[in-house]
Every structure is written in C-alpha cells, then in structure tokens.
Amino acid sequence: MAARRSRPLLLLALALLLPSMIGSARAAPPERVDSIKDVFARLGSCWKPPPRANPDVDITVIVSFNRDGNILGRPRITYESEQATDDDRLKYRVAVMEALQRCTPMPFTEGMAGAVAGRPFAVQFRNRKPPPQPTEKRAWLTTRIL
C-alpha cells in the first residue's frame, strides 16, 4: 500500500526534474569538436574566472592544437586589460592555463583535426557581466491613440 502512494510522488519528482536535466544537457559542450564555433564553445565551458580578482579584466591568449587535440607549443598571452594590477594579471594567467589544461586534449573529429592542426586561435577570456537591458518602453513604440 505504501508503494502505491509513493509512486505518484516519484512520478511528480521525475516530471519536475526532467526539464532541468534536459536543459543542462543542451548547455553542455558538444561531444566531438567539429567546427571553430565548437572550439570556442568548449574553451568557454572550461573557463573559470579567478576568485576574488578584478571582474573587469580581459585576457587574450593565442593557442594552437595538434591533430590529437593537444596544445602545440606554448600558449602566448597577447592582451591583458590596462587596469589589471600585477596580482590580477598573475591570477588570470593561471586561470587561463588551468582552463586550457581542463579542455585538452580537444576531441576533434577527423576532418576538424586536419583543418586546425597548427593553426593559431586567438581566444578571449572575459569575466565581465553584460550590461543590463533597459526595461522602460520608448514613447515612439507605444500604440496608444490620443
């Protein structure tokens, strides 16, 4: 009798959890990297900004991969925000290298591996929040008749 009562609760819990599980599955990076867009999506998914660092710091790194998806040579940092302190720069450099370690080897498809092998990618890592969208309505967009 107790099993029958718990069955509807189990179904209700499953119904509530299923949409969130599907949504998180969609947000995951692609299984195999088959386009340049997928490369940047995967690198973005590996990025974790450093804790307690200046959130307005941007950093750009140039990195190349071999056919196996491993980093070819040494990544080179080509840009850091001017307002970053030396401490911020160090924290962000470490965070970038950790992100690259988390993402490699990059699981390229056969065609993509041949296309990107040895080619440099300029990857921007940003920690900025997008500006808030305005919520007010513009006067010229209202359809009210006077």
Q: pLDDT 10s digit of each residue in the chain, 146 long?
A: 544 554 554 444 444 444 444 444 444 555 889 999 999 999 999 999 888 878 888 999 999 999 999 999 999 999 998 988 899 999 999 999 999 999 999 999 999 999 999 999 999 988 765 566 766 666 666 666 66
Whole-structure pTM value: 0.65
CATH at residue 66: 3.30.1150
Is 63 inside a domain boundary? yes
Count of structural domains, the chain: 1
**pLDDT confidence of residue 126:** 83
Is 93 inside a domain boundary? yes
Is 82 inside a domain boundary? yes
Is 7 inside a domain boundary? no
**pLDDT confidence of residue 11:** 41
Domain residue limits at 55: 29-127
Is 89 inside a domain boundary? yes
Cβ atoms within 10 Å, residue 10: 10
| Among 90, 116, 94, CA closest to 105 | 116
Is 73 inside a domain boundary? yes
Partners of 58 in the β-ladder = 126
